[in-house]
Amino acid sequence: MRTITTTDALAEFCTRARAHPYVTVDTEFLRERTYYSKLCLVQLAMPGTEDDTAVLVDPLAKGLSLEPLYALFRDTSVVKVFHAARQDLEIFYVDAQVFPEPLFDTQVAAMVCGFGEQVGYETLVRKIAKQPLDKTSRFTDWSRRPLTDAQKTYAIADVTHLRQIYEFLAAKLADSGRARWVSEELQILLSPDTYIIDPEHAWKRVKTRTNSARFLAVVKELAAFREAHAQSRNVPRNRVFKDDALVELASNKPKSYEDLGRSRLLLREARKGDIADGILAAVKRGVEMDPDTMPRPDRSREKLQVNPALADLLRVLLKAKTESAGVAAKLIASAADLDALAAGVRDVPALKGWRSEVFGTDALRLCDGQVALTAKGADVQIIPLD
């Protein structure tokens, strides 16, 4: 199989690919020791069965630029096909602020087409392409060169089988009229906000069990420092300090290096130097924060007066509707969304876009007492009420 190591060779392949209706794309990367993913390999395939229709691209090759690939991504006449695209798209957006458009994600499409929730690529290869898939090379070190034959075989399979999967799912969506559903779902993947982590909002990812605004103020400042430090040094945030250490620091509010030395959970490297200075400064900012600007946890859902009987009926309706439509229930509404509906909240995703067609309209009718549910054999039916 061919491995591209020069910009000219990549440009030649991308030029040929632009003559086709779609190209399949996948990546291999490492992230265990860095904040941002390290791109190690790009796999590309265009329609066809010839040997030169699928290639590996080595982004670690000296002098190779991915700009020809990004030009292909910008060409809206060619559909770019991925499976579970989020991490791949993050790599390309961070590197070049580019998104592949139009985008097709076979995992999302498969959920819409009735293949279950978060269906894996291996499952689709087995069910659609009717082929086995060897995953033994999945967790190898993709940054080492040369790549082994086993790694190359594994990597190229991630885009060659994807051609058949895409064609099958695209046809199924066209027949069912659900292509628009997938397009709606993919909009979040094409938003920069999906991939940009603002240090000022990093505290919302930290799990705490307190309503204390002062405590949360310290958590906010510590999380902001950790995120900014990790981004600037390109190291995992947990290498700065872990969440449990962050919560401990917010509780103890250290004022000196000596106080940091008493921490049970703080890494030794974080008790001195830039990290220690950053921790102490962050704690001081949190302690001294103006009460009017302190963060407050979102407790709105906790105060909801959920009607448990109605919530149960909504679960029955969701199960019936998604089984009938052949759509993964998780794609329509979460348990929290159903509880919110049963408490009178109307700003939930299940009531918008294509979800409203499948479930939301009848869910509102059920909440408003306009319909009832009845069981007939294994089926659940909706009965209009006068």
CATH of the domain at 354: 1.10.150
Does 340 reside within a domain?
yes
The alpha carbon of 117 is separated from its chain's Cα centroid by a whole number of angstroms, namely: 14
Same domain, 22 and 147: yes
Does 171 reside within a domain?
yes
CATH number, domain at 63?
3.30.420.10
Confidence band of 116 (pLDDT split at 50, 70, 90):
confident
Contact 100, 73 (CB under 8 A): yes
The alpha carbon of 207 is separated from its chain's Cα centroid by a whole number of angstroms, namely: 20
Last residue of a domain, one of 160, 194, 228: 194
Mean pLDDT of 127-136: 89
Confidence band of 378 (pLDDT split at 50, 70, 90):
confident
Confidence band of 1 (pLDDT split at 50, 70, 90):
confident
pLDDT of residue 300: 62
pLDDT of residue 71: 98
Same domain, 125 and 161: yes
Does 294 reside within a domain?
no
Confidence band of 134 (pLDDT split at 50, 70, 90):
confident
Spatial separation of the C-alpha atoms in residues 382 and 386, rounded to whole Å: 13
Same domain, 210 and 75: no
Highest mean pLDDT, choosing among 67-81, 116-130, 292-306: 67-81
Same domain, 206 and 349: no
Same domain, 190 and 218: no
pLDDT tens column, 249-261: 999 999 999 999 9
Please provide the average confidence, as pLDDT, over all residues in the chain: 94
Please count the structural domains in the chain.
3
Same domain, 32 and 132: yes
Higher pLDDT, 330 or 93: 93
Alpha helices, H only, the chain? 7-17, 67-74, 86-96, 106-112, 121-124, 149-176, 179-186, 213-233, 237-240, 243-252, 257-261, 273-287, 308-325, 329-332, 335-342, 353-355, 361-367
Same domain, 169 and 221: no
Same domain, 53 and 189: yes
Same domain, 112 and 63: yes
Radius of gyration of the chain (CA): 25
Same domain, 14 and 132: yes
Could you tell me what percent of the chain has a pLDDT over 70? 98
Same domain, 107 and 167: yes
Confidence band of 301 (pLDDT split at 50, 70, 90):
low
CATH number, domain at 203?
1.10.150.80
Does 143 reside within a domain?
yes
Same domain, 120 and 134: yes
Q: How many CB atoms neighbour CB 168 within 10 A?
A: 18
Range(s) of the domain holding residue 343: 308-384
